[in-house]
């Protein structure tokens, strides 16, 4: 069966994910489609968050906005990790100024055990439609990344009902009702696998799993609560490269690198490039780790810091990115400086 999509002209990201030699690292930015861009804010004024996510034409347009401005090497589809919970029948609200809310969080084992794997093609069709539209809109100028939230991170929101500094309720639920919690994590993992496979069929050329709250777990708890499901997902996703991003879990880099089939690992800014390379023995592609707050420095300083970051990681098996999503108040010119710094980097003689 022939490929229905335009030929990929810029394969820098996929080369880096495969460990092939590149002239410079590929660059993209987490949350690069979003609220620091004035054109995004225009759409935000007209449509609610989930209207933007659930309308394929809007999601495609928002995904393309930073591509037109900065020409990064990859686009990441505009969506949200919590759509998986919505697909499972969980109500999610996201009102301006208050962050995500789950009005009826899971508080009992009975609620947990009632959750089941949904039909992702039916419940999340709009994401796949947006991916296909975007893959065509990109016309091969950048790779297209799909994504999902990791089971532990979604479990945190599901039980806590909102964002938290420590997700103490989520941890307590796991420790008090481990079998019910494991059921939920298994349901989320299986749903995520089906969702990512559907994204790949719809046009995603790589996928990333965000475990935004894994860093709240101790190393032992990470190995019990988060890691098994990251491994389950990585074992199942074989069609395209998979990036795992267990934010804050620097202690797990070695284990995740060698015990999963991930093509790359994301790293935040709380670990040095040298130590990240040491832990992973330079045998897996790393992505990150520029502190998003550093984008509030001057463009000249951003350029200097980005070049230093690449020098420390090395150009091979590396994807230049932030250590987390871009902040909403970063000036557009500072974001441009980040992209241009990567593109202008040259190896030291």
- CA angle in degrees (0–180, nearest 5) for 68-312-230: 70
pLDDT at 93: 95
**pLDDT value at position 294?**
98
Q: pTM above 0.85?
A: yes
d(CA 164, CA 170): 10
Q: What is the pLDDT of residue 1?
A: 52
Half-sphere exposure of 9 (CA within 13 A, CB side): 8
> Is the pLDDT reported for residue 349 higher than 80?
no
Going by pLDDT thresholds of 50, 70 and 90, the confidence category of residue 95 is confident
pLDDT digits (tens, 9 = 90+) for 58-78: 999 999 999 999 999 999 999
pLDDT of residue 262: 98
The yes or no reply on domain 12-344 and CATH 3.60.21.10 is no
Query: What is the predicted pLDDT for the residue at 343?
Result: 98
Instruction: Indicate the pLDDT class of residue 2, thresholds 50, 70 and 90.
Output: low
For residue 150, give the 3-state DSSP assignment.
coil
Q: In sequence order, what are the beta bridge partners of 288?
A: 267, 320
Query: What is the model's pLDDT at position 96?
Result: 78
One of 24, 40, 73, 80 is an active-site residue; which one? Answer: 80
Annotation: binding site: 31-35, 50, 80, 157, 212, 324
35, 69, 101, 259: the active-site residue: 35
**Which helix H or strand E contains 54, and what residues bound it?**
helix 49-54
Mean pLDDT of the chain: 97
**CA dist 203 → 6, 105, 145 (Å):** 10, 33, 9
Is the confidence at residue 285, as pLDDT, over 60? yes
Catalytic residue among 40, 157, 174, 318: 157
Strand order in the sheet with 285-290: 74-76, 143-149, 206-211, 242-246, 264-267, 285-290, 318-322
Q: Which residues are annotated as a binding site for substrate?
A: 31-35, 50, 80, 157, 212, 324
Kindly list the domain boundaries of the chain, sorted by start residue. Answer: 12-344
pLDDT at 139 exceeding the cut of 90: yes
pLDDT band at residue 278 under the 50/70/90 scheme: very high
């Amino acid at each position: 069966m022939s490929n229905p999509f335009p030929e990929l002209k810029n394969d820098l990201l996929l080369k880096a994910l495969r460990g092939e030699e590149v002239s410079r690292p590929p660059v993209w930015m987490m949350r690069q489609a979003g609220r620091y861009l004035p054109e995004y804010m225009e759409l935000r004024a007209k449509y609610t968050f989930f209207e933007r996510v659930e309308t394929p034409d809007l999601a495609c347009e928002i995904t393309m906005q930073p591509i037109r401005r900065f020409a990064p090497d990859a686009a990441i589809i505009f969506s949200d990790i919590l759509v998986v919970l919505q697909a499972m029948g969980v109500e999610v609200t996201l009102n301006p100024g208050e962050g995500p809310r789950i009005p009826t969080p899971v508080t009992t084992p009975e609620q947990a055990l009632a959750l089941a794997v949904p039909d992702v093609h039916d419940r999340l069709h709009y994401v796949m439609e947006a991916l296909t539209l975007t893959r065509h809109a990109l016309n091969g100028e950048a790779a297209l990344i799909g994504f999902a939230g990791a089971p532990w991170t979604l479990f945190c929101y599901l039980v806590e009902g909102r964002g938290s500094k420590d997700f103490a309720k989520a941890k307590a639920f796991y420790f008090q009702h481990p079998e019910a919690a494991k059921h939920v994590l298994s349901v989320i993992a299986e749903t995520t696998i089906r969702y990512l496979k559907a994204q790949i069929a719809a046009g995603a050329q790589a996928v990333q799993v965000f475990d935004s709250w894994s860093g709240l777990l101790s190393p032992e708890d990470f190995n019990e609560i988060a890691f098994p499901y990251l491994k389950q997902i990585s074992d199942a996703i074989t069609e395209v490269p998979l990036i795992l991003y267990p934010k804050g879990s620097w202690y797990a880099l070695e284990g995740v690198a060698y015990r999963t089939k991930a093509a790359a690992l994301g790293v935040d800014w709380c670990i040095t490039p040298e130590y990240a390379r040491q832990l992973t023995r330079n045998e897996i592609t790393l992505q990150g780790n520029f502190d998003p707050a550093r984008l509030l420095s001057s463009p000249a300083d951003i350029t200097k810091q980005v070049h230093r970051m690449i020098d420390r990681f090395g150009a091979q098996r590396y994807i230049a990115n932030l250590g987390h999503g871009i902040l909403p108040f970063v000036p557009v010119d500072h974001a441009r400086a980040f992209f241009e710094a990567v593109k202008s980097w040259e190896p030291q003689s």
